Every structure is written in structure tokens, then in C-alpha cells.
């Protein structure tokens, strides 16, 4: 389990679950007799979205072993997060009703739905946005409905950029100004650099339901959701423990999962290595028990095992995620989770040609100032800036 010498990291891993067995409870007792740096623990737990589970488990197992001030800090965050999640659940139901009233089929996923389907308690998961999937034909119409509801683009877009974005990206990021509710409106669940995706037409006959504030909402079946979670973790280079925790909790909640369907779906999406990496991380870090046949299949991917070791070694390193070495390391890890050369090439082109950066971004504008009428040239300037900023680090990593 342990990924480093610090007891705070091991304590955090012990807390990364909704159910604590006797073995973990005994480990709590041992760790809490060590010199725990609570400021550090709370900081890394917050960075990994783990504060609700840290409070939930420590308060249940050994509240007397924690200083009153530290326990109160954790309790205050837990209560605030629970209230926020209830508020977001109500907003999600409102948005789903809005889409249904306008004859737009929609599917919520991740976030709240994962908290309900895998954690069994909305208060135990920390998240910041709502994820809603609509069909590509309804994408722009749904976006317009949300704008009328008071949402705005997280990054301002011109009409031309909205059109380009809808054709080349898989989601609009929207925010409501009065209460900072974030919504990611998707037309695809997986990134566009993966040629295949799960769309509503394909999922229509496969959907299940989950209860949310007494209402019934559609949900991905656990087999599909597991693959989606592993692809999402790979997309973000598995830099957060809560993504690994979500994989483990979903599997624990569904012990009769059809693993044949899981691997078939991963193969369909060309995400077998991303699935293997997510399962290895959940097994190695959170002691998730997997069927032996499943373990044999994921352990056969030696590249996934190498990537899992790399993720584990970096998981609790407190580094600047925007520094050149970190950006390059994350880029290479994402690249190596893709099994096919075509997908790697599409991903590299996707990074270089993301249309939103023709806004321009602050970094592009700082690198080279252009008048508004020539802003389209930022498409050409961006690769030059990226190579200047990250090229040396990339060459060092490749040589290593």
C-alpha cells in the first residue's frame, strides 16, 4: 500500500474507502501513534479530494486520537461539502428537467451519480462540477438553454470559436456566476482523440437508474462506468487519489460485475491499457481484491505495470503541475496509456491544436502580441511556444 516513507500518505490511503475492515482499523491505531503532521495531511487530502473520507473514517474509528482542533476542521469541511453536494444534486435535477422539457435526452455521469452509485452517500465524495451528456445533434441547443438559465462560458468564446469548439472538442465548460456552479456539458464521454465513444444512441438500451434526492435518474451500467472512470483517470495522468478511489469503490459496490463486458467495452474504445492501469492502481494502492482471471489479464500488460509504478511514485509529490517537467511528464504518461499509434498521433495533434487557445490564451498572448484581426495566427504560434517552453524537458524525458 505505502508509496512513501511519510505516515500521512499511508494514513490517507487507509482512509480512501467507504468501509473500513479490522485490518485497516488496526493500521489506524498504529499510524495515529506516530508523529502526524496534520497540516500536511489535511493539505494533501484536500489536493486529492479525500477530506470527506478522511473525516468519515477517522471520526468513526478513533476520534479520541485526533486533536480537537484538527477534528473540528475536518468536520467543518465535511458538513460544508455535504451541503454543497445536496445543493448541486438539486441543480442537476433542475437541469435534467429543463432538458427533458425541451425534448433533449440527457445522461448525468461521474460526480453526483458516481457518489450515489459507488459510494452510497453523497456526502462522501468531493467534486466541483456537474457532468451531463447529450447527443451531438442537441449539443448546441442544450448549450443555449443553459446560457438562458444564467450560465456562461468558463472561458469567453466568440461565435466562431463556439462553432469550432463544438466540432473539435467533447464538452463545453459552463459556470453560473451567482453561486459558481460549474457544468461540463458533453456530446461525447471520451475525448475526441479516441475515435470511438459512448454516445446516447449506443447507450440507450444499456442504461440503468440511480436514486438522487428521491428522484430516479439514468445512469451508466457499472461495466461501462468503470471503463469511463479509467479513461478519465488516464486522461488526467492519475494525479488525484479520488479517481483511484472511485474505481475501487465502484468495483466493491458491484461484486458481480460482468468482467467480460468490461473488457469488451475497453477493447471497443481502444482503452484496454487505461483500464489495466486503473485496476492496477486500485489493487496496489487501495488493496482492491480482483478476480484472479482479471488480475492475470491486467498484469500481462507490462507497460501498464510500468506506468502504475510511475504514478505511485509521483502521487504525493507536491510539485507545480504547470512547470515544464510536470507538464511533459503528464503528456508522456497520457501518450503511453494509448495503445495504438493512430490514437497517440491524434492526441498529440489535439494538444497542439486545441481551438480555445486561439482566443488567445494569456500565455500565447504574452509570448507574442497580435492585434485582434490577426488572432487566427495563434494557431501557428502555439506549437512554437510549446516547443520553446517544454521542448527541452521533453527531449530529456525521451532520452531517459
Last residue of one domain, picked from the residues 203, 220, 237: 220
Q: What's the whole-model pTM score?
A: 0.86
Tell me how far apart the alpha carbons of residues 291 and 322 are, in angstroms, rounded to a whole number: 38
In degrees and rounded to multiples of 5, residue 353 shows phi and psi of: -115, 20
**pLDDT score recorded for residue 357:** 43
Distance CA 99, CA 142 (A): 7
Count of domains forming the chain: 4
Distance, CA of 279 to CA of 293 (rounded, Å):
13
CA distance 271 to 255: 22
Sequence-distant (6+) residues with CB within 8 A of 1 are: 10, 13, 14, 284, 285, 286, 287
Q: How far apart are CA 220 and CA 277, in angstroms?
A: 21
User: Which of 220, 237, 263 is where one domain is finished?
Assistant: 220
Query: Are 55 and 11 in a shared domain?
Result: yes
Residue 388 has pLDDT above 80, yes or no: no
C-alpha cell at 396: 530529456
Please, are residues 330 and 132 in contact by the beta-carbon 8 Å criterion? no
Predicted confidence at residue 103, as pLDDT, reads 96
Residue where a domain terminates, one of 220, 242, 271:
220
For 318-354, what is each residue's pLDDT tens digit? Answer: 776 666 667 778 888 888 998 888 888 888 877 766 5
Same domain as 106, residue 230: no
Residue 304: pLDDT over 90: yes
249 and 341 in a single domain? The answer is no
Is residue 178 domain-shared with residue 292, that is, in the same domain? Answer: no
Other beta carbons less than 10 A from residue 319's beta carbon: 11
Q: Which of these, 110, 114, 130, 133, lies nearest to 122 by C-alpha position?
A: 114
Instruction: List, for residues 289-303, the tens digit of each pLDDT value.
Output: 999 999 999 999 999
Query: Do 143 and 248 fall into the same domain?
Result: no
Asked whether the beta carbons of 110 and 117 are under 8 A apart, the reply is: no
Task: Please report whether residue 390 resides in a domain.
Answer: yes
- Neighbouring-strand partners of residue 218: 209
Average pLDDT, the chain: 86
User: Which parts of 188-271 fold into alpha helices (H)?
Assistant: 200-203, 222-235, 241-253, 259-268
The dihedral sign for the CA sequence 118, 121, 125, 131: positive
- Among all chains, which residue has been given the C-alpha cell 440507450? 204
Q: Cell numbers at residue 274, please? A: 487505461
Statement to judge: residues 155 and 197 lie in one domain: yes
CA dist 368 and 167 (Å) reads: 27
User: Does residue 77 fall inside a structural domain?
Assistant: no
Contact criterion met (CB below 8 Å) for 273 and 364? no
How much is the pLDDT for 310?
93
Q: What is the pLDDT of residue 349?
A: 76
Q: Is the pLDDT of residue 376 over 60?
A: no
Distances (CA, A) of 390 to 39, 120, 348, 354: 33, 42, 14, 17
Q: What pLDDT is stored for residue 356 in this prediction?
A: 43
Q: Residue 176: what are its φ and ψ, rounded to 5°?
A: -100, 125
**pLDDT surpassing 60 at residue 390:** no
232 lies in the same domain as 212: no
pLDDT tens, position by position, 124-148 = 999 889 999 999 899 999 999 999 9
Amino acid at each position: 500500500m505505502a508509496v512513501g516513507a511519510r505516515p500521512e500518505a499511508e494514513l490517507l490511503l487507509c482512509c480512501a474507502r467507504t468501509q473500513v475492515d479490522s485490518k485497516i482499523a488496526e493500521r489506524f491505531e498504529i499510524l495515529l501513534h506516530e508523529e502526524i503532521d496534520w497540516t500536511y495531511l489535511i493539505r494533501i487530502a484536500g489536493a486529492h479530494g479525500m477530506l470527506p473520507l478522511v473525516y468519515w473514517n477517522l471520526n468513526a474509528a478513533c476520534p479520541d486520537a485526533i486533536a480537537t482542533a484538527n477534528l473540528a476542521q475536518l468536520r467543518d469541511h465535511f458538513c460544508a461539502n455535504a451541503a454543497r453536494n445536496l445543493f448541486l444534486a438539486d441543480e442537476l435535477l433542475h437541469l435534467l428537467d429543463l432538458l427533458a422539457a425541451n425534448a433533449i435526452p440527457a445522461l448525468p455521469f461521474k460526480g453526483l451519480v458516481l457518489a450515489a452509485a459507488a459510494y452510497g452517500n453523497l456526502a462522501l465524495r468531493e467534486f466541483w462540477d456537474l457532468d451531463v451528456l447529450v447527443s451531438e445533434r442537441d449539443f448546441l441547443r442544450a448549450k443555449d438553454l443553459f446560457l438562458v438559465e444564467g450560465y456562461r462560458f468558463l472561458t469567453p468564446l466568440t461565435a466562431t470559436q463556439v462553432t469550432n469548439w463544438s466540432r473539435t472538442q467533447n464538452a463545453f465548460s459552463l459556470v453560473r456566476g451567482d453561486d459558481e456552479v460549474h457544468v461540463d456539458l458533453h456530446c461525447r464521454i471520451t475525448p475526441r482523440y479516441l475515435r470511438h465513444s459512448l454516445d446516447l444512441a449506443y447507450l440507450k438500451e444499456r442504461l440503468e437508474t440511480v436514486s438522487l434526492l428521491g428522484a430516479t435518474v439514468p445512469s451508466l451500467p457499472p461495466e461501462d462506468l468503470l471503463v469511463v472512470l479509467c479513461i478519465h483517470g488516464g486522461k488526467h495522468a492519475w494525479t488525484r487519489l479520488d479517481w483511484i478511489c472511485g474505481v475501487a469503490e465502484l468495483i466493491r459496490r458491484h461484486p458481480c460485475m460482468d468482467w467480460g463486458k468490461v473488457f469488451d467495452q475497453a477493447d471497443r474504445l481502444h482503452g484496454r491499457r487505461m483500464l489495466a492501469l486503473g485496476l492496477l492502481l486500485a489493487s496496489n494502492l487501495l488493496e482492491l481484491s480482483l478476480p484472479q482471471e482479471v488480475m492475470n489479464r491486467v498484469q500481462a500488460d507490462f507497460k501498464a505495470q510500468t506506468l502504475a509504478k510511475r504514478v505511485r511514485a509521483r502521487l504525493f509529490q507536491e510539485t507545480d503541475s504547470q512547470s515544464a517537467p510536470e507538464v511533459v511528464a503528464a503528456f508522456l504518461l497520457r501518450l503511453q496509456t494509448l495503445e495504438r499509434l493512430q490514437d497517440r498521433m491524434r492526441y498529440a495533434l489535439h494538444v497542439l491544436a486545441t481551438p480555445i487557445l486561439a482566443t488567445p490564451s494569456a500565455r500565447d498572448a504574452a509570448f507574442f502580441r497580435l492585434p485582434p484581426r490577426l488572432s487566427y495566427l495563434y494557431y501557428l504560434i502555439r506549437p512554437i511556444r510549446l516547443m520553446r517552453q517544454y521542448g527541452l524537458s521533453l527531449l530529456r524525458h525521451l532520452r531517459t
